[in-house]
A and B are shown apart, each in its own frame.
Chain A
Amino acid sequence: MDTTTVSKLSAVLAAAKAENRAALVGYLPAGFPTVEGSLDACRAMIEGGVDIVEVGLPYSDPQMDGPVIQRAVEHALEAGTNTVDVLRAVEGVAATGAPTLVMTYWNPIERYGVDRFAKQFADAGGAGLITPDLIPEEAEPWLSASDAHGLDRVFLVAQSSTDERLALTTRACRGFVYAASLMGVTGTRTAVNSQAAHLVERTRAATGLPVCVGLGVSNAAQAAEVARFADGVIVGSAFVRRLLDAPDPGSGLAAVRELAEQLAEGVRARNL
């Protein structure tokens, strides 16, 4: 990979920064309610103002996910969603022009073949992977494959991370760093954790990469609050919740679009 090339993901984050706002990152799992339906929902997020899309790869043992995402993913797996479907969804989402990441637990990638997945994912237009149960020390095959195929790689940092681990983890990142706003699993929370800003500050001391914050952000006010200290705001469960609660697919898409619009206003309201 020519490391002087700015990835599409980095370009979008830089553009948001130039507009003096945070980028909005939206998560939805592939295959919920169907593969096509998840593609429509991702498009609705983008229409509503999401800058970067995270497509979730459904996995049988999602240890970092709360009940909302667990339920959607269980449904997707029962319907037979597999890695090939995820790659297809990535191709569809990436065709909109939005940087498209896949959020995945590690075993499905290892099983598919790390290099094989990286190649097909890059061919589909994918930007990179977010890997919540992979630490850089165990990631050698992915570090090589992501270099070979020009993919970004997003590892997570947490409030419990030592300064030493912040340095180690951010060194392995490319694109951005995912800062978990709280100690816990995905899901909506009533308030943004007060320690989130401190973690971002500590992370910035370790790296020049953009820092995006996820876990627990579900509405415009919280997005605005996080946007004051982070380069990007990541929202997942709140979008999934809109689809779960919808009486029919059409109203689900409308609800997703509406939430994206509200959040997009939120990430622009950082200075208010």
Chain B
Amino acid sequence: MTDTSTFGDAFFADAYAQHSAQPDEHGHFGRYGGRFMPEALMAALAELTEAYQKSKNDPTFQAEFTHLLRTYANRPSLLTDAKRLSRAAFEKGCGARILLKREDLNHTGSHKINNVLGQALLTKRMGKRRVIAETGAGQHGVATATAAALLDLECVVYMGEEDTQRQALNVARMRMLGAEVIPVAIGSRTLKDAINEAIRDWVTNVDHTHYLLGTVAGPHPFPAMVRDFVRVIGAEAREQVMTLTGALPDAVAACVGGGSNAIGAFHAFVPDASVRLYGFEAGGSGVETGLHAASITGGEIGVLHGARTYLLQDEYGQTMPSHSISAGLDYPAVGPEHAWLHDTGRAVYEAVTDDEAMQAFKLLCRTEGVIPAIESAHAVAGALRIAPKLRAELGREPVILVNLSGRGDKDMHTAAAYFGFSGMEA
């Protein structure tokens, strides 16, 4: 890649070119990524790659995308100085300054809308009239159904049967928006099986259908393309933190399932050597119990859904079921760029358990009046964990940027069940 432009130049006046050499032309981030997909999809992947590369240098496309982000998705999203959270979380004088990047305030309630608007515009450019998507918690499905309604595209969303029951509200939202939701009743009946079913649909209907993948996983060009559509998160936050504090943050924290919000938050900071990048994976009941979704912390290298990356698998390469209280992190693999950032040491990945995430969830509700998605609560918990360590290293109060990737309305059933009503009153 030789171009130095990016989506919405007005937004992103940063050092994109310095680290845009990844992936290579075949979609490899070091040893990760690539294209492990049926030959039948190679033409569509090539077409998509071409459309995506062209759009990067196309002022009309960028203007259209930026316009939608500003006038429809509610960008730029706010930066909130979470002073009460910091005071409550730490003994006096031992704290951190925690800044929240408020992706929860986007239209549809999460960072997913950024990628979805970008890909939906590309779908129109490719002359396709139908989009399909997978969804776990339903956030990506709702965002896709929203963009499809706005841009007049037919929309089918695949969702594991188990998830359609856990996230009934989001199923209703998607149907209200005009999408067809198809429950997937094979395999583990969760996100990974919804992806399999979406791939089967795609290979059958590829001539008029775009697979609007919701994260930085899958075959090339998805990991790079989705990253470029969500990197607005970090690009905005970088400017906002500089304006607020006069300096770069000391660390950026984000939750990692497939990893799209984390890549979005990290990417603009990758060239800033002083900024530590922390990805917090879903530790479930604890990585040592085997009941988790921490692919980097507790998985091994393999191939799933089109890319080589870290994944949860048994000794024969069968995908292992993942476990997390957060449906959006409940995925047994991770985007290949995260695998690469981990191996190069540029980013650090740790697991946060269900319990740690839920404590942080409650604390953020009570101190800031912000109900986060349980996914995002993993990032808050992680930030609270690393603060004392950073403080010791730096000899001063660290500034930690936390990507609050989504809002928690969808999680009220789960939270009420977790805390019990007495817990909610405590």
Q: In whole Å, how far is A189's beta carbon from the nearest beta carbon of chain B? A: 11
Q: Which of B113-121, B196-204, B269-277, B380-388 contacts A (4 or more CB under 8 A)?
A: B196-204
- A24 interface residue per 8 A CB criterion: no
A35 to B32, CA, bound (A): 34
A132 to B39, CA, bound (A): 8
- B40 interface residue per 8 A CB criterion: yes
- Chain A neighbourhood of B200, CB < 8 A: 63-64, 66, 184-185
Can you list, as one digit per residue, whether each of A149-181 has a CB less than 8 Å from chain B (1) or not (0)? 000000111111110010001000000000010
- B207 interface residue per 8 A CB criterion: yes
- B42 interface residue per 8 A CB criterion: yes
Q: How many residues of chain A get a CB closer than 8 Å to chain B's CBs? A: 41
- Chain A neighbourhood of B36, CB < 8 A: 106, 133-135, 138
A74 to B188, CA, bound (A): 10
Inter-subunit contact B317/A183 (CB<8 Å): no
- A62 interface residue per 8 A CB criterion: yes
Q: Which of B15-23, B140-148, B297-305, B350-358 contacts A (4 or more CB under 8 A)?
A: B297-305
Inter-subunit contact A161/B43 (CB<8 Å): yes
Q: Which of A11-19, A108-116, A247-255, A264-272 contacts B (4 or more CB under 8 A)?
A: A108-116
- A77 interface residue per 8 A CB criterion: yes
- A137 interface residue per 8 A CB criterion: yes
- Chain A neighbourhood of B306, CB < 8 A: 133
A156 to B41, CA, bound (A): 11
- A61 interface residue per 8 A CB criterion: yes
- A208 interface residue per 8 A CB criterion: no
A145 to B200, CA, bound (A): 30
Inter-subunit contact A107/B302 (CB<8 Å): yes
Task: Return the chain B residue nearest A132 by Cβ.
Answer: B38
Inter-subunit contact A60/B319 (CB<8 Å): yes
| B29-83 CB contacts (< 8 Å) to partner A | 34-44
- Chain B neighbourhood of A59, CB < 8 A: 317-318
A77 to B318, CA, bound (A): 9
Can you list, as one digit per residue, whether each of B271-314 has a CB less than 8 Å from chain A (1) or not (0)? 00000000000000000000000000000001111100000010
Most buried by A among B34, B36, B43, B316: B316
Inter-subunit contact A107/B43 (CB<8 Å): no
Most buried by B among A61, A165, A169, A184: A61
Given contacts A106-B303, A160-B42, contact A111 B37 (CB under 8 A): no
Given contacts A60-B318, A184-B203, contact A110 B39 (CB under 8 A): no
- B315 interface residue per 8 A CB criterion: yes
- Chain A neighbourhood of B206, CB < 8 A: 160, 183
- Chain B neighbourhood of A61, CB < 8 A: 187, 192-193, 196, 304-305, 319
- Chain A neighbourhood of B43, CB < 8 A: 160-162, 165
- Chain A neighbourhood of B38, CB < 8 A: 63-64, 132-133, 156, 158
- B365 interface residue per 8 A CB criterion: no
- B26 interface residue per 8 A CB criterion: yes
- Chain A neighbourhood of B205, CB < 8 A: 183
Inter-subunit contact A83/B316 (CB<8 Å): yes
A180 to B203, CA, bound (A): 11
- A82 interface residue per 8 A CB criterion: yes
- Chain A neighbourhood of B196, CB < 8 A: 61-63
Task: Return the chain B residue nearest A136 by Cβ.
Answer: B39
Inter-subunit contact A161/B39 (CB<8 Å): yes
- B186 interface residue per 8 A CB criterion: yes
- A67 interface residue per 8 A CB criterion: yes
A–B complex contacts, Cβ < 8 Å, 30 sampled: A59-B318, A60-B319, A61-B196, A63-B203, A63-B305, A66-B200, A67-B186, A70-B186, A77-B318, A83-B317, A106-B303, A107-B302, A108-B318, A110-B302, A110-B303, A111-B315, A111-B316, A133-B38, A133-B306, A134-B36, A135-B35, A156-B40, A157-B39, A161-B43, A162-B43, A169-B39, A180-B39, A183-B203, A183-B205, A184-B204
Q: Which residues of B contact A (CB under 8 A)?
A: 26, 34-44, 186-187, 192-193, 196, 199-200, 203-207, 302-306, 313, 315-319
Q: Which residues of A contact B (CB under 8 A)?
A: 59-64, 66-67, 70-71, 74, 77, 82-83, 106-112, 132-135, 137-138, 155-162, 165, 169, 180, 183-185
Pairs of residues from A and B, 9 with the lowest C-beta to C-beta distance, nearest first = A111-B317, A158-B40, A108-B317, A160-B43, A184-B204, A107-B317, A60-B319, A60-B318, A107-B303
